[in-house]
Amino acid sequence: MGAGKSTVGRALAELLQYEFVDSDEEIERRTGANVSWIFEIEGENGFRDREQQVIAELVERERVVIATGGGAVMRDANREVLRSKGLVVYLYASLREQVRRTGNSQKRPLLAGKNRKSVLSELMRIRDPLYREVSDLVMPTDNRGAKKLAQHLRAQIPSESPEVSSPK
């Protein structure tokens, strides 16, 4: 959370002249409900089922940059499909930066009403090794603007890569 997936993803897609899709936004578009509401009604597992289906469909597209939700890497199926279908970029943000960037957000159900630093620390402890396992590139995002990050990523992407996806 707070790594810049959507912002950097959009900027990168523009540079590459690719389509950009945020998997959370795609779920919201398809269901007509926001992620927080889905979490509240269906629980995290219900949301993750929807997320898995959407990611499996999105990776079949060509010339697309996909920003996945931060928890997407928790499922083996998501890691496998991301790893097998495109170039995966892990946008890494330090805990301090995540806390700063998520400070005003009301759209993050895992942080609602909880100590953000504690939750983010625990999520990082669990998820960071999974992100690193699935990623082709790890890109630190602290103190770096989205456009500069996108330009740096563009320079590192092999020209034959038909797809780029970026988990949190």
At 46-79, the pLDDT tens digits run 999 999 999 999 999 999 999 998 889 999 999 9
Token pair listed for 93: 């943000």
CB atoms within 10 A of CB 149: 20
CB atoms within 10 A of CB 145: 13
Tell me if residue 125 falls in helix, strand or coil.
Answer: helix
Sequence-ordered alpha helix ranges (H) in the chain: 5-16, 23-31, 35-58, 76-85, 95-101, 116-134, 146-156
- Give the pLDDT of the chain (168 residues) as one tens digit per residue: 667 788 999 999 999 999 999 999 999 999 999 998 998 899 989 999 999 999 999 999 999 999 998 889 999 999 999 999 989 999 998 888 887 877 765 666 566 666 778 888 888 899 999 999 999 999 998 888 889 999 999 998 876 544 444 444
> What architecture (CATH level 2) is domain 5-166?
3-Layer(aba) Sandwich (3.40)
Q: Where are the domains of the chain?
A: 5-166
CB 69 within 8 A of CB 147: no
Token pair listed for 4: 């810049």
* Percent of all residues in the chain with a pLDDT value above 90, rounded to a whole number: 59
Cα–Cα distance for residue pair 58/51, rounded to 1 Å: 10
CB atoms within 10 A of CB 43: 11
